[in-house]
Amino acid sequence: MKVAIYGQNYVKDTTQSAVEKLLGYLLVKEVDVYFEKEFLQTQDTTVINNKNIKIFETLDQSFNLLISVGGDGTILRAITFVRDLGIPIVGINTGRLGFLATIQTEEIEKAMSEIFKGNYNISERSLLSISTDPENSDIAKTNFALNELAISRKNTTSMITVETHLDGEYLTSYWADGLILSTPTGSTGYSLSCGGPVITPAAKNFALTPIAPHNLNARPLIIPDNTIVTFKVDGREDQFLMSLDSRIATLPNTTTVTVKKASFTIKMVVLLEESFLDTLRKKLLWGEDRRN
């Protein structure tokens, strides 16, 4: 079995502990372990100098699994390596909330054992595919997002106007700090904090959520995920910000942004004892009110 490991060493002690437990299991199982090059350099010398550990800078279809060590943000960066290769991803949570990275450090050995036995399900997650006119080279290199596309103001306290079309038909012009187009996966992220709805992963929908709209009747909107969405921005500044998950680009207001469902999905490993609804209850503390 060939396994890739990717992470970000934000919380060093927590991350190191998770890596040690993970390697303790994988190397005993004689797994071919590949660390992402930069992540390996953050490890201690015993890991860096271990002859059984190799490095990767890109992935190919020979890999059976990618293990992300960190939080949900780490998984969002990990998919830029996986792209359309169909490599399953599992997340070990050394971050905070963890809707995607659900395996806790103390559960690593048990979880890995279940995965190696094949006792898991695959949750296929839809992505957004983004194009711009004129083309932006930075976006063209990695033109997809697992969580959301967010358009927001730049270098100004003034609101922007985001003219929005659905399948070529004019919807409205949002007068706001910005606008989010979210996948079901991203519905529990930025969109949720702006008042957007929670969408279950298997739902074939996207959500449009305005960021601090001037008009209170500008509400979140659920749309089918086969809708082609087009944005055009206007405002006092000549530029605006567009983020794809955690990747940010500055675009001129003359840019037209077109978004549609990507032609591939990301495969998330879900242990049999886990479910999205269970994660939702735990992370949002539903049922903690004793009156329930």
Q: Using one digit for the tens of pLDDT, what is the confidence trace for 69-123?
A: 999 999 999 999 999 999 999 999 987 777 899 899 999 999 999 999 999 999 9
Q: Which domains does the chain have, with CATH numbers?
A: 2-125+265-283 (3.40.50.10330), 128-261 (2.60.200.30)
Distance CA 242, CA 163 (A): 15
DSSP for 212-232?
S-SSTT---EEEETT--EEEE
Q: Strand 178-182 relative to strand 221-224: parallel, antiparallel, unpaired? A: unpaired
CA pair distance 78, 128, nearest whole angstrom? 16
Give 108: exposed, middle or buried? Use CB within 10 Å, 0-12, 13-18, 19+. buried
> CA 203 → CA 30, 140, 199, distances in Å?
39, 27, 7
Taking the alpha carbons at both ends of the chain, their separation in whole angstroms is 46
Return d(Cα 103, Cα 271) in angstroms, integer.
9
- List the pLDDT tens digit at each of the 292 positions of the chain: 999 999 986 666 788 889 999 999 999 999 999 999 999 988 888 888 899 999 999 999 999 999 999 999 999 999 999 999 999 999 999 877 778 998 999 999 999 999 999 999 999 999 999 999 999 998 999 999 999 999 999 988 899 999 999 999 999 999 999 999 999 999 999 999 999 999 999 999 999 999 999 988 999 999 999 999 999 999 999 999 999 998 999 999 999 999 999 999 999 999 998 889 988 888 888 877 776 6
44 is catalytic: no
Q: What is the predicted pLDDT for the residue at 38?
A: 92
What does the angle CA 281 – CA 283 – CA 289 come to, to the nearest 5 degrees? 55
Residue 80 DSSP SS3: helix
- Among candidate residues 13, 72, 234, 289, the one labeled active-site is 72
Buried-state track 175-191, b at ≥16 Cβ within 10 A, e below 16: bbbbbbbbbbbbbbbbb
Amino acid at 121: N
